[in-house]
Amino acid sequence: MLLDNNPITARAHTNIALVKYWGKKDEKLIIPNNSSISLTLDEFYTETTVNFDDNLHQDIMYLDNKKVDSIKSITNFMNIVRNLSNINKFAKIISYNHVPTSAGLASSASGFAALAAAASKAAGLNLDNKELSKLARRGSGSATRSIYGGFAEWKKGTNDENSYAVSIQNPVKMDINMIAIILDNQPKKISSRKGMKISVNTSPYYDSWEKQTTKDLETVKNAIYNNDFTVLGKTAELNSMRMHSLTLSSDPSYLYLNKDSLLVINHIKALRDKGIECYYTMDAGPNVKIICQSKNIKKIKSELLQSFDEEKIKISKSGEGIKYL
Ligand code: ADP
Ligand code: DP6
Ligand code: CO
């Protein structure tokens, strides 16, 4: 049943992949070449309100109080919700990102997970987590995993029906934190969507990436079950750099890291030389995330303060799944 003028608000947290999704088998349906694993973060999230309204002649969206001009990807997504629910009204969407937008901190993950939850409920649908994950996938692949708290796996599947994420462990048993260093909160020049397409089409190493990522996934999954922080951290770091080497080996070659990203990486290596265990991972953007245990947060932070201001350093623990507010 569609409840008119009944705004629904949902919150979804971002997630950072420990084994990355980088490439699609089906660009329209967003079916990935690889399965991926992530940790949902408590510090970064999106809150989105959706209200279907008889008086609207098109969808309208405000993101962080600014009207969104290029609404096409949102309208395409809302068309899927309209098809599923058999309704023909347009919606007003109001969204707030408590995370930098398009900066490699997974705003598309929290953004489309929150939109999937709020829009489907506002349309009168009562989707379970699997169906929500499938719907979120149509907005952005990484959003499949933000339906869940803790560790989640997006099982690649082969089609619209069997490509969705599942919870691996929530609450998480491991003592794991991610320290994000916000080096640049401006939108990236090459979106994740565009970047991965260039890699799939032109990197001669893409086939190796597919094979290696399948192995990395099993390694990280076992590390989660065995509560083995060292294996998880090492493998996540390697997998992340394997992804970035696809960008470097593409034609045209491109790079998400900047000079400050390298500075953070050097700090992490210095910390490791001092016996402080920590690892790095990076997505499609220059901002580095450090994977560490609680006992080392203080020391890592004081190392980072040598180069970066305190407000740029955000410490996250495992976050929750979708919540209706
Ligand atoms: P990021 O690294 O932040 O995930 P991407 O390049 O993957 O960057 O994705 C950015 C896309 O996500 C943009 O198309 C943007 O419009 C969309 N997006 C960001 N925030 C939201 C939101 N709150 N609701 C819907 N879409 C969003
Ligand atoms: C590097 O999910 O943002 O963060 O599906 O095209 O919207 P689209 O891309 P997106 O890609 C995420 C890439 C990544 C790795 C990951 O989150 O698995
Ligand atoms: Co994204």
ipTM value: 0.99
Q: Is the CB of 106 under 6 A from ligand 1?
A: yes
Q: What is the pLDDT of residue 320?
A: 98
Question: What distance in angstroms lies between residue 140's CA and the mean position of ligand 1's atoms?
Answer: 8
Ligand 1 near 108 CB (within 6 A) = yes
108 Cα to the center of ligand 2, angstroms: 8
Query: Is 75 a pocket residue for ligand 1 (Cβ < 6 Å)?
Result: no
Ligand 1 pocket member 61 (CB < 6 A):
no
pLDDT value of position 6: 86
Mutate-to-test residue for ligand 2 from 30, 283, 287, highest number of ligand atoms within 8 A of CB: 283
Residue 193 alpha carbon to ligand 3 centre in Å: 8
Q: Atom 11 of ligand 2 has which residue's CA nearest to it?
A: 192
Tens digit of pLDDT per residue, the chain (325 long)?
Answer: 445 578 999 999 999 999 999 999 999 999 999 999 999 999 999 999 999 999 999 999 999 999 999 999 999 999 999 999 999 999 999 999 999 999 999 999 999 999 999 999 999 999 999 999 999 999 999 999 999 999 999 999 999 999 999 999 999 999 999 999 999 999 999 999 999 999 999 999 999 999 999 999 999 999 999 999 999 999 999 999 999 999 999 999 999 999 999 999 999 999 999 999 999 999 999 999 999 999 999 999 999 999 999 999 999 999 999 999 9
From atom 2 of ligand 1, which residue's Cα is the shortest distance away? 104
152 CA → ligand 2 middle, Å: 14
| 3-state secondary structure string across the chain | CCCCCCCEEEEEEEEEEEECCCCEEECCCCEECCCEEEEEEEEEEEEEEEEEECCCCCCEEEECCEECCCCHHHHHHHHHHHHHHCCCCEEEEEEEEECCCCCCCCHHHHHHHHHHHHHHHHCCCCCCHHHHHHHHHHHCHHHHHHHCCCEEEEECCCCCCCCEEEEEECCCCCCCEEEEECCCCCCCCCCHHHHHHHHHHHCCCHHHHHHHHHHHHHHHHHHHHCCCHHHHHHHHHHHHHHHHHHHHCCCCCCCCCCHHHHHHHHHHHHHHHCCCCCEEEECCCCCEEEEECHHHHHHHHHHHCCCCCHHHEEEECECCCCEEC
pTM, to two decimals: 0.97
Which atom of ligand 2 is nearest to 20's Cα?
18
Query: Which protein residue has the closest C-alpha to ligand 2 atom 6?
Result: 193
Query: Can you tell me which atom of ligand 2 is nearest the CA of 19?
Result: 18
